[in-house]
Amino acid sequence: MNAPDPDVILVRYGELALKGGNRVDFERQLANNIRIALESVAPAKVERHWGRMFVFPERRTEVALARLREVFGITSLSPTRRAELDVEAIGKVAEQVLDEALAERTAPGPVSFRVRATRSEKRFALTSVELDRVIGGRLKERNERLTVDLEEPDIVVGLDVRAEGAFVFARRVEGPGGLPVGTLGRALCLISGGFDSPVSAYLSMKRGLSLAYVTYHSAPFIGESARKKVVDLVRVLSRFQPRHSRLWVVPFAASQIAIRDLEVAGYRTVLYRRMMQRIASRLAEREEAQALVTGECLGQVASQTLENLTCIQAAATLPVIRPLVSFDKEETIRLARRIGTFELSAVQEPDCCTLFMPTKPVIRGRPEFCEELESRLNVEQLVEAALASAELVSIPPEG
Residues near ligand ATP (CB under 6 A) = 190-192, 194-197, 214-216, 276, 294-296, 300-301, 303, 351-353
Interaction partner, residue 255 (ligand ATP, Mg ion, none; CB < 5-8 Å by kind): none
Interaction partner, residue 308 (Mg ion, ligand ATP, none; CB < 5-8 Å by kind): none
Under a CB-based contact definition with an 8 Å cutoff, are residues 339 and 236 in contact?
yes
> In whole angstroms, what is the distance from residue 244 CA to residue 252 CA?
24
Site string for Mg ion, 164-193 (x = CB under 5 A): ----------------------------x-
CB of 193 to Mg ion, least distance (A): 7
Query: Residues in the chain, how many?
Result: 399
Cβ-in-10-Å burial (0-12, 13-18, 19+) of 200 comes to buried
CB of 247 to ligand ATP, least distance (A): 10
Nearer to ligand ATP, 163 or 301 (CB): 301
Distance of CA 144 to the CA centre of its chain: 43
CB of 213 to ligand ATP, least distance (A): 8
Nearer to Mg ion, 78 or 192 (CB): 192
Cβ-in-10-Å burial (0-12, 13-18, 19+) of 220 comes to exposed
CB of 97 to ligand ATP, least distance (A): 45
State yes or no: residue 241 binds Mg ion (CB under 5 A): no
Identity (one letter) of the amino acid at 226? Answer: A
Interaction partner, residue 301 (Mg ion, ligand ATP, none; CB < 5-8 Å by kind): ligand ATP
CB of 296 to ligand ATP, least distance (A): 5
CB of 189 to ligand ATP, least distance (A): 7
Interaction partner, residue 94 (ligand ATP, Mg ion, none; CB < 5-8 Å by kind): none
**Sequence-ordered list of residues with C-beta below 8 angstroms from that of 189, at least 6 positions apart, any chain:** 197, 200, 201, 204, 211, 212, 213, 214, 292, 293, 294
Nearer to ligand ATP, 26 or 327 (CB): 327
CB of 374 to Mg ion, least distance (A): 22
The DSSP symbol for 207 reads B
Determine which residue in the list 158, 178, 194, 323 makes contact with Mg ion, applying CB under 5 A.
194
**Pairing mode, if any, of strands 74-83 and 8-13?**
antiparallel
Burial 277-316 (b: 16+ CB within 10 A, else e): bbbbbbbbeebebebbbbbbbeeeeebbbeebbebbbebb
Helix axes 379-388, 268-287, angle to 10 degrees: 50
Three-state secondary structure call for residue 257: helix
Nearer to ligand ATP, 77 or 236 (CB): 236
Residues at the interface with Mg ion (CB under 5 A):
192, 194
